[in-house]
Chain A
């Protein structure tokens, strides 16, 4: 199974374009593309000004690549349902992110799905529809 694939998701790019979720330039990420990474969490850092995920992803050559996934600030993640214990080393996860334009193993976080099927993003869940 090919474990890394890149898909053009223009709609997603439009939604996130201009996002102010970082303090520095995001020029290095290709926001018109998503990369899906299936791998194992090596480290999840719960820290200001940015959190990040370091994960190991099997590559096509039979080896393992270490990817750094750049995230937004914890106070934003809290509003999206995150805790410092949301990810632990050894967790099997599927991460979606905007890849680096250079092809280096790094990405800007979009979402993560854990082995239990829970998906977390960096945006608050949509409010429940009002009762009629």
Chain B
């Protein structure tokens, strides 16, 4: 008996350890049962350049944008996206707009982020001084700007916009397009929420929604895009513009990087007395 008691005594710590393990294991099991299920990842999207995607049967596109294009600057086709007459801003945007107006009156630039090497983003990247190389495939259009090597991608393979919880915000957003008669209609969302401007003092946000209706003019020599842009964080309603680009067959794009040592020699962007932030 004494020996048994001794043996029992010796086993007591081991029993306690075993019981603790069982308790932890059962607790984990209960937690696993009560935790919400892990959502399944989205089904994989066939890449726009996958040969099997390109090879799918699709309606014939109305035109081919492949080529080099330059914004056809003129007084009635400015590179700016100025607000329309009678526009109404949100209180948050009005603060920026008023500050930009004051800076302009003093001969200063307000939040000139492009000059400080932030990407121009859409829509401004489309109307820069540098040409844009456009490459069209049945499933996608790549637009590479000669300014900052900015790449814009328009998917034509029928995909929907990425889940807002999964989309990675960017300055050019996420564009999906479809053909309507003689036009390509492109819908873009998924923008960043800072350092992105429509015009001086008019910020663009992660709520920006842009629709472009693209069509060819002059037997393919001119590209016209009608823009409809809304941003409930910055203004009320939809604003519209129509811009034109000319095909430039005598040039190509080249690399253009905004670099601190180059900017150091640019009075317009280095002068602290001129740049208001």
> For window 108-126 of chain B, which residues contact chain A by CB distance below 8 Å?
108-110, 112, 114-115, 120
Complex Cα spacing A20 to B127, Å: 9
Of listed A20, A47, A70, residue having the most chain B CB within 10 A: A20
Contact A106 B108 (CB under 8 A): no
Query: Is A124 interfacial (CB 8 A cutoff)?
Result: no
Q: Is the CB of A28 within 8 A of B107?
A: yes
Complex contact A108–B107 (CB within 8 A):
no
Contact A47 B266 (CB under 8 A): no
Q: Is the CB of A27 within 8 A of B255?
A: no
Select one of B75, B78, B103, B115 contacting A23, CB under 8 A: B115
Contacting pair B78 A18 (CB below 8 A): yes
Chain A's interface size range is: 20 to 34
- B120 to A, closest residue via Cβ: A23
Q: Judge whether A76 and B255 touch: CB under 8 Å.
A: no
A22-65 to B contact mask, C-beta < 8 Å, 1/0: 11111111100000000000010101111010100000000000
Q: A94 on the interface (CB 8 Å rule)?
A: no
Q: Would you call the interface of chain B mostly helix, strand, loop, or mixed?
A: loop
CA–CA, A108 and B71, complex, Å: 22
- The 8 Å CB contact of A104, one of B108, B114, B258, B267, is B267
Number of residues on chain B facing chain A (CB within 8 A): 40
- Chain B neighbourhood of A30, CB < 8 A: 107
Are B130's CB and A73's CB within 8 A?
yes
Q: Say yes or no: B267 contacts A106, CB within 8 Å.
A: yes
* B269 lies within 8 A of A68 (CB): no
Nearest residue, chain A, Cβ from B264: A68
Q: Does A101 contact B (CB under 8 A)?
A: yes
Interface centre among A22, A27, A29, A54 (most CB of B within 10 A): A27
Q: Is the CB of B130 within 8 A of A50?
A: no
Interface of chain B residues 197 through 231 with chain A (CB within 8 A):
200
Bound: A11/B113 CA distance, A = 31
- A45-B265, A48-B256, A52-B266 given as contacts; is B129 within 8 A of A100 (CB)? no
| A residues whose Cβ falls under 8 Å from a Cβ of B | 18, 20-30, 43, 45, 47-50, 52, 54, 68, 70, 72-76, 100-102, 104, 106-108
CB-defined A-B contacts under 8 Å, sample of 16: A18-B75, A18-B78, A24-B269, A25-B109, A27-B103, A27-B107, A27-B112, A27-B268, A28-B108, A29-B267, A45-B262, A48-B130, A52-B266, A75-B254, A104-B267, A104-B271
Residues in B lying within 8 Å of A, measured CB to CB:
71, 73, 75, 78-79, 103-104, 107-110, 112, 114-115, 120, 127-131, 146-148, 200, 251, 254-258, 262, 265-269, 271, 273-275
